[in-house]
Amino acid sequence: MAAAFDPLDMSNYKIEKLPKMQKSGFEMWMARLGAPLALIVFVVLYWFVKIPFIENISADALDNTALARYNVVGAENFIRINYAMLAIFAASIVLWITEAIPNYLTSLIVILAIVLCHVTSEKTAFAQLGHPVMWLNILSFILASMLVKTQVAKRFALWFMVKYGKTPAKIILSFIVINLVLSAFISATTAKATILLPIFMVIAAIYGATGGDKRNNFGRNLVLQNLFQINIGASGFMTGSGANLLAVSLMVGAMGGQIFSYQDWFIAAFPLAVILILIGWFVGTKIIFPLKPEERKPQLEGGMERMKEELAKMGKMGWQEYKAIAIFVTVLVLWATDKQHGISQTTVAFAGAVVALLPKIGVVKWNDVDIPWHLMLFSAGAYVLGVGLDATGIAGTLVNAGFDSLGVNENTPFGVLFLLLTFLMLFSAIIFQSKTMRALIFIPIALGVEQRFGFPGLSLAFPVALLIEHVYVLPFNSKPAALLYTTNQYSWSDSFKFGFTMMVISWIMIIIWGETVLRWLGYTNGIFF
């Protein structure tokens, strides 16, 4: 006879034991139609349509683009390459949204198409796999694997919860602290979700939320709050995700290599992240999913004792754990003081990873390191797409054409453009699955608008970058969202109600932030006043 399911056994909530999220009928149709639709989009844009704002590009425009470095001769060739870039860009968006093929395969096709269509050189396209941001992503996964292998992250989460998680309110507030701390050390939001999921699932069970027919508002709050905190916590740190790092690299490129430091991001972003997380806690627990009296009391006897037992099973902290903490704290301190010593985040992470991997001295072996290479290949394709957009200047061309058609000109107030770009960046997250893709689309647009209208550098791009991590409304919006949806603690409508409400609040907050904090720090001259 099979053993009865024990809701307090953390091993029952390992990723491999969770049900896989099944695609809806609409999603399956999108997947079936995605490939032929992408092909049609590419063929039509590349061969059959005449677009005035591309046809009117003059040969002089070549001098203002990266294509000048590749010896593209003549307006006709330049126009043909612009059509190719637009076709590749549009087709890749279709494939990424519909998930007709794996995202990493779409990226490989993008790289191949950009090379074959002569948008950029082989050397430039293939070199993006060695982009400093790519290296920082890889090295961050090495450092995160160190914390996972030694179980430092799990120990910290369990200890904090056992010590401070005495009531429902304290439990959720404890997870806020845990998520913020882990966000400083772990750059992969999925890794954080994987570490925390077994812990909050056991706590949900203690309070009677075992999913499905036994959902309650405590469980809804616990899981949705964690989803929100995992993502928004990452927005507080430049190294919080690869998409943040990509945004920084795009902004630095537009600033002519001027340094944008870890401190610059942290000072502007971390307080905003904390405020949004606290607002999310209030909105979730007090307004959308208020806790009933019976949901405030443990429903299973001995629940917290099991948490203590789980912590006790880990034994005393070992030498390897102390070494892991020492290595990562050193890396974090060097990241946080990059403005003082001038060593880049990538070089610091490189040194930390080398020490972590050193025989007898380090903490992990190469086989212990969990690097999601499919995500690396996806990111490489996104970076190559960015190179193509930069090479042709097509993003700026599209912005100019779009603004001209809307009647936007030099007399349009900065505040109107701020509202438009932050709105598009934020709410596009409901449709786009990839944070990297959104950064790749909207950061160059914001930079182009700044340059066209002569606004202060980063006055639009940085506020847009601060909205990258808002990917929590629907289960397909991000990998943590898809993972946590499989817990069966909430429905799509639950997720949408809380997530969309927080998106609206976040848009209001970024407007307030642009008028106050970003103004005080010198990024904007104010939005309305």
Lowest mean pLDDT, pick from 52-66, 104-118, 331-345, 463-477: 52-66
**164/295 same-domain check:** yes
Give how far Cα 504 sits from Cα of 501, 508, 519, Å. Answer: 5, 6, 22
Over range 477-502, report the average pLDDT: 88
Q: Best-predicted range by mean pLDDT among 1-15, 36-50, 150-164, 302-316?
A: 36-50
Which residue range is the domain that position 61 belongs to?
24-128
**316/278 same-domain check:** yes
Confidence of residue 7 (pLDDT cuts 50, 70, 90): low
Q: How confident is the model over 381-435, as pLDDT tens digits?
A: 877 887 887 788 777 777 777 777 777 777 889 999 999 999 999 998 887 767 8
**274/318 same-domain check:** yes
**120/196 same-domain check:** no
**203/341 same-domain check:** yes
21 pLDDT more than 70: no
Of the two residues 437 and 49, the one the predictor is more confident about is 49
330 part of a folded domain: yes
Over range 84-111, report the average pLDDT: 88
**92/204 same-domain check:** no
What predicted TM-score, i.e. pTM, was given to this entire model? 0.80
Confidence of residue 85 (pLDDT cuts 50, 70, 90): very high
246 part of a folded domain: yes
102 pLDDT more than 50: yes
pLDDT value for 516: 95
Q: How far apart are the C-alpha atoms of 450 and 276, rounded to whole Å?
A: 27
364: nearest Cα among 148, 190, 135: 148
318 part of a folded domain: yes
Confidence of residue 8 (pLDDT cuts 50, 70, 90): low
pLDDT value for 461: 93
Q: How confident is the model over 265-280, as pLDDT tens digits?
A: 999 999 999 999 999 9
292 part of a folded domain: yes
* HEC assignment per residue over 345-398: HHHHHHHHHHHHHCCCCCCCCHHHCCCCHHHHHHHHHHHHHHHHHHHHCHHHHH
463 part of a folded domain: no
**176/29 same-domain check:** no
User: Percent of the chain beyond pLDDT 90?
Assistant: 28
Confidence of residue 367 (pLDDT cuts 50, 70, 90): confident
Q: How confident is the model over 149-187, as pLDDT tens digits?
A: 888 878 888 888 888 877 888 888 888 998 998 888 777
In sequence order, the 6+-apart residues with CB closer than 8 A to the CB of 449 are 399, 403, 417, 421, 455, 460
pLDDT value for 478: 82
**100/162 same-domain check:** no
75 part of a folded domain: yes
Confidence of residue 6 (pLDDT cuts 50, 70, 90): low
**116/166 same-domain check:** no
pLDDT value for 71: 67
Mean pLDDT of the chain: 84
Of the two residues 470 and 131, the one the predictor is more confident about is 470
Q: How confident is the model over 491-517, as pLDDT tens digits?
A: 889 999 999 999 999 999 999 999 999
For the chain, how many structural domains are there in total? 2
Q: Which of 128, 147, 164 is the last residue of a domain?
A: 128
205 part of a folded domain: yes
- Burial of residue 288 (number of CB atoms within 10 Å: 0-12, 13-18, 19+): middle
Long-range contacts of the stretch 274-277 (C-beta < 8 A, 24+): 274/180, 274/236, 275/509, 276/232, 276/502, 276/505, 276/506, 276/509, 277/176, 277/179, 277/180, 277/228, 277/229, 277/232, 277/233
**198/260 same-domain check:** yes
**147/87 same-domain check:** no
Q: How far apart are the C-alpha atoms of 300 and 303, rounded to whole Å?
A: 6
Confidence of residue 19 (pLDDT cuts 50, 70, 90): low
395 part of a folded domain: no
pLDDT value for 1: 44
**80/203 same-domain check:** no
Confidence of residue 464 (pLDDT cuts 50, 70, 90): very high
Q: Which of 340, 368, 396 is the last residue of a domain?
A: 368
Confidence of residue 3 (pLDDT cuts 50, 70, 90): low
Over range 38-58, report the average pLDDT: 87
Q: Which of 341, 368, 395 is the last residue of a domain?
A: 368
Q: How confident is the model over 308-338, as pLDDT tens digits?
A: 887 888 888 888 899 988 998 898 898 888 8
Instruction: Say what angle helices 242-254 and 435-453 make with each other, to 10 degrees.
Output: 20
pLDDT value for 383: 79
